[in-house]
A = this chain, B = another copy of it.
Amino acid sequence: MAVLFVLNRYNASDWSDMMRDRAPDLDVRLWPDETGNPEDIKYVVAWNPPPGELAKYPNLKVIFSIGAGVDHLMKDPDLPAVPVVRVVDPDLTKRMTEYVVMNVLLHHRRFRLYDAQQTANAWTEHSQPAAGEVRVGIMGFGTLGRDSGVILRDLGFQVAGWSNSRKQVDGIESFAGESELDGFLGRTDILVSLLPHTPDTDRMLNSALFAKLPQDGALEGPFLINAGRGKVQSDADILTALNDGTLKGASLDVFEEEPLAAGSPLWSHPGVVLTPHVAAESSPIAINDYILDQLRGYELGEALSNVVNAKRGY
């Protein structure tokens, strides 16, 4: 029995080394060089594997994603029909909340304007609405969205969530389903997307959607924050909306293609706060221990947690 790390990313060996350190009894291997006999592989720990790769292991029982999202797996037409476990980790949730709260506050508090003034050595005060005058709307109101929503509520913002099923959270308005989407967008000054990428959400953050956000809120125009998945947005439509004023600003951690091309005009747009998909990188230790706990339990015959619903895609 072996655990194979198939991580298509910059620090793959840090991950396999960590599990070796913390579970010296396990046969831990790092793809591709240490793969060995494919029949040995019972578990795969995966990030963005080449399509078809995971079909090569005939005795594979469980696939662990090292992220909350599993679109990097679901895009593989030959993905083996074994349980896929995603990370649902308090540490990752807290990090996402840090990112969302920081970026809501950045736009609310006119950070890009004050930063430009700092660059110009200019001391100029501007009027500032209170949080209570500003409406934040969170699309994708699961574990991550609710954690962010509660902190934003406590900061005084008017918070609403939109998701497939209605959620009950004190002091937060809940919108559900396609029929309530326009009502949700029409009351949203700062739109936060934490949506997973599925066929339903593909390029959902586009010109038609941005046009439904109000222009007359306390911030004098809507802002977009996408900390979920890049393929939920149209990069081109975001740029158009920023240029014609449909969006007043945006915080983008994810993009249709990553890394974002060095020539993209988004890098230098004055209303954009851009980060390289780091909103909710969980601590590798926390993820490692989460995966290890599930793997140990599975070996003892316990049920897996947070198994992806293949039909919904998350």
Cα–Cα, bound, A232→B184 (Å): 45
- Contacts A99-B109, A105-B101, A109-B99; is A118 near B154 (CB within 8 Å)? no
Cα–Cα, bound, A286→B156 (Å): 15
Which A residues between 227 and 284 are near B, CB-CB below 8 angstroms?
258-260, 262-264, 267-268, 272-278, 281, 283
Other-chain residue from B101, B119, B281 in contact with A155 (beta carbon distance below 8 A): B101
| Stretch touching chain B among A19-27, A28-36, A124-132, A171-179 | A124-132
Chain B residues closer than 8 Å to A278, beta-carbon distance: 114, 125-126, 128
Copies of this chain present: 2
Q: How far is the CB of A280 from chain B (nearest CB, A)?
A: 10
Tally A residues with Cβ within 8 Å of B: 53
- Can you list 26 A-B pairs with a CB-CB distance of less than 8 A? A10-B125, A94-B130, A94-B156, A95-B128, A95-B131, A97-B155, A98-B108, A98-B156, A102-B102, A102-B106, A102-B111, A114-B275, A115-B273, A118-B273, A118-B275, A121-B264, A121-B267, A123-B258, A123-B260, A123-B276, A125-B276, A125-B277, A128-B278, A130-B283, A151-B154, A154-B154
Please report A residues at the B interface, Cβ cutoff 8 Å.
10, 91, 94-95, 97-99, 101-102, 105-106, 108-109, 111, 114-115, 117-119, 121-126, 128-132, 150-151, 154-156, 258-260, 262-264, 267-268, 272-278, 281, 283, 286
